């Protein structure tokens, strides 16, 4: 089946009791046992260990990413946490992209470091830097591509060719492009991480996450942590995400087309000093972006005249764009990473990887693109 068919039908079967075509929200803590020695044929016993609505979403996400299975989580961070917990022990070492969502950096440095895990934040866009970062204690390479917020790309196949012979699992955070545009498992990665909060939901209605696996042993390890640590997604969130995911391809296409138009407008504007969007020929990794994925996504960033003050003043004068932390929704959102999403990164490290004080991140939504551009134009005119 094609992607559009799978995003609507994978994992969903009409309810055998009522015939309802939408998978019901199985809002139940526990499931009856026919006898002390038996469980229901369905295998469900307690919703932390498994819930039918969550199972349906897990099957859909696994199918869309081309994995053998997936585990859904309370948030994207719970998904990343589960990958770390499943694969690294005290005394082990992990390599993480030096540009990644700020919460990933925080989890590594403020939580897992306390348990004796050693991290190298490497420029994973440089394969020599990845080769130099791995050592005999490395048990995980975790890349994010394109990375939040600078959009730095990592060559997924290139990194996998380094990790596979060493038996090191390579996990890719594919939140920004989704499987509609980028399929890390087909490029050699072993695990895919999602904040389903973003494009899978797409409507600013939930927070959730997922980990998709290439092999049974990895899925077992991740699912074990999902249950043992209780990092599960709720049935209500799974149900909302099942509905949102049905239009993933259409939203990605339209929002990406809007993003291209917004990027071109910003690129031509005299008060904009820098624009970054993977679809622009000026994007430093335009070639890799074109080769590795079938679309450029709907995320971008820019800097305006007047630096931080200019950026803040612009963000304060917009009427259609919403100043908020999320991304990937039908609503267009504008964010200041230095004070919002990446506030917990130490400033020297943040600046070293290119997250400047004046960087304005945009998540382009599904509104009429003329309105989005007009709004930016009136804000820029005030500078
Ligand atoms: N990965 C990426 C690329 C993100 O942008 C985010 C959140 O912004 C996360 C992971 C964490 O997801 P959540 O906010 O659902 O915990």
Q: Is 195 in the pocket of ligand 1 (CB under 6 A)?
A: yes
Supply the CATH number for residue 56's domain.
Answer: 3.40.640.10
Distance between Cα 101 and ligand 1 center (Å):
6
Please enumerate in sequence order all residues whose Cβ is within 8 A of that of 94, keeping only pairs 6 or more positions apart, or say none.
84, 87, 88, 108, 112, 117, 118, 119, 120, 138, 139, 140, 141, 142
Strand order in the sheet with 93-97: 69-73, 209-213, 191-195, 170-173, 138-144, 93-97, 118-122
Query: Residue 30: how many CB atoms within 10 A of its CB?
Result: 10
Tell the residue number behind the tokens 């003329």, with chain if given: 370
**Active-site residue, from 101, 153, 181, 296:** 101
Distance between Cα 76 and ligand 1 center (Å):
5
Q: Is 77 in the pocket of ligand 1 (CB under 6 A)?
A: yes
Q: What is the pLDDT along the chain (383 residues), one digit of tens a residue?
A: 999 999 999 999 999 999 999 999 999 999 999 898 888 888 899 999 999 999 999 999 999 999 999 999 999 999 999 999 999 999 999 999 999 999 999 999 999 999 999 999 999 999 999 999 999 999 999 999 999 999 999 999 999 999 999 999 999 999 999 999 999 999 999 999 999 999 999 999 999 999 999 999 999 999 999 999 999 999 999 999 999 999 999 999 999 999 999 999 999 999 999 999 999 999 999 999 999 999 999 999 999 998 889 998 999 999 999 999 999 999 999 999 988 899 988 999 999 999 998 899 999 999 999 999 999 999 999 99
Tell the residue number behind the tokens 């969502």, with chain if given: 101
- C-alpha span between 300 and 7 (Å, rounded): 26
The tokens describing 278, both together, are 């993977």
- Is 339 found in the same domain as 293? yes
Please write the tens of the pLDDT for every residue from 250-295: 999 999 999 999 999 999 999 999 999 999 999 999 999 999 999 9
- Is 130 found in the same domain as 21? yes
Atom of ligand 1 nearest to the CA of 209: 15
Whether the Cβ atoms of residue 102 and residue 341 lie closer than 8 Å to each other = yes
Distance between Cα 355 and ligand 1 center (Å):
17
- Is 159 found in the same domain as 195? yes
- Is 165 found in the same domain as 73? yes
- Is 371 found in the same domain as 340? yes
- Is 110 found in the same domain as 228? yes
Q: What angle do CA 66, 248, 24 make, to 5 degrees?
A: 85
Atom of ligand 1 nearest to the CA of 148: 3
- Is 327 found in the same domain as 232? no
Domain residues for 275? 248-381
The last residue of one of the domains, among 245, 263, 298, is 245
Strand order in the sheet with 322-323: 272-276, 299-304, 360-363, 333-335, 322-323
- Is 240 found in the same domain as 298? no
- Is 281 found in the same domain as 240? no
Whether the Cβ atoms of residue 255 and residue 292 lie closer than 8 Å to each other = no
Q: Whose CA is nearest to atom 2 of ligand 1?
A: 101
Tell the residue number behind the tokens 């004068």, with chain if given: 317
- Is 283 found in the same domain as 179? no
Name the helix (H) or strand (E) containing 244. Answer: helix 235-244
pLDDT more than 90, % of the chain: 91
The last residue of one of the domains, among 245, 270, 294, is 245
**Active-site residue, from 139, 198, 214, 254:** 198
Q: Is 256 in the pocket of ligand 1 (CB under 6 A)?
A: no
Supply the CATH number for residue 286's domain.
Answer: 3.90.1150.10
- Is 286 found in the same domain as 155? no
Query: Residue 79: how many CB atoms within 10 A of its CB?
Result: 31
């Amino acid at each position: 089946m094609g992607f559009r068919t799978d995003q609507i039908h994978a994992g969903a079967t009409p309810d055998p009791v009522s015939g309802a075509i939408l998978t019901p929200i199985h809002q139940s803590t526990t499931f009856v046992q026919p006898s002390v020695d038996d469980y229901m044929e369905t295998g469900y016993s307690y919703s932390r260990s498994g819930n039918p609505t969550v199972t349906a979403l897990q099957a859909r996400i696994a199918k869309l990413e081309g994995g053998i299975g997936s585990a859904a989580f309370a948030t994207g961070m719970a998904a990343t946490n589960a990958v770390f917990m499943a694969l690294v022990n005290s005394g082990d070492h992990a390599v993480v992209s030096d540009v990644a969502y700020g919460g990933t950096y925080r989890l590594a440095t403020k939580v897992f470091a306390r348990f004796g895990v050693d991290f190298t934040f490497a420029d994973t866009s440089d394969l020599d830097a990845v080769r130099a970062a791995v050592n005999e204690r490395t048990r995980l390479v975790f890349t994010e591509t394109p990375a939040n917020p600078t959009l730095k790309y990592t060559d997924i196949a290139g990194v996998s060719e380094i990790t596979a012979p060493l038996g090191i699992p390579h996990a890719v955070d594919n939140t920004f492009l989704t499987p509609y545009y980028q399929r890390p498992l087909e490029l050699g990665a072993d695990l895919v991480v999602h904040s389903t909060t973003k494009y899978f939901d797409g409507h600013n209605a939930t927070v959730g996450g997922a980990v998709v696996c290439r092999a049974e042993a990895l899925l077992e390890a991740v699912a074990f942590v999902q249950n043992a640590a209780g990092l599960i997604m709720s049935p209500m969130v799974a149900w909302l995400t099942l509905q949102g995911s049905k239009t993933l391809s259409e939203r990605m296409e339209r929002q990406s087309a809007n993003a291209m138009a917004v990027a071109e407008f910003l690129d031509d504007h005299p008060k904009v000093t820098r624009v970054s969007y993977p679809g622009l020929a000026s994007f430093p990794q335009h070639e890799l972006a074109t080769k590795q994925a079938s679309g450029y996504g709907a995320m971008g960033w820019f800097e305006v005249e007047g630096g931080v003050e200019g950026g803040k003043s612009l963000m304060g004068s917009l009427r259609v764009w919403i100043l908020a932390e999320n991304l990937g929704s039908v609503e267009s959102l504008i964010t200041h990473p230095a004070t919002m999403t990446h506030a917990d990164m130490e400033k020297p490290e943040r600046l070293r990887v290119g997250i400047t004080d004046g960087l304005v991140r945009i998540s382009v939504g599904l509104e009429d693109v003329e309105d989005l551009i007009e709004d930016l134009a009136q804000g820029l005119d005030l500078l």
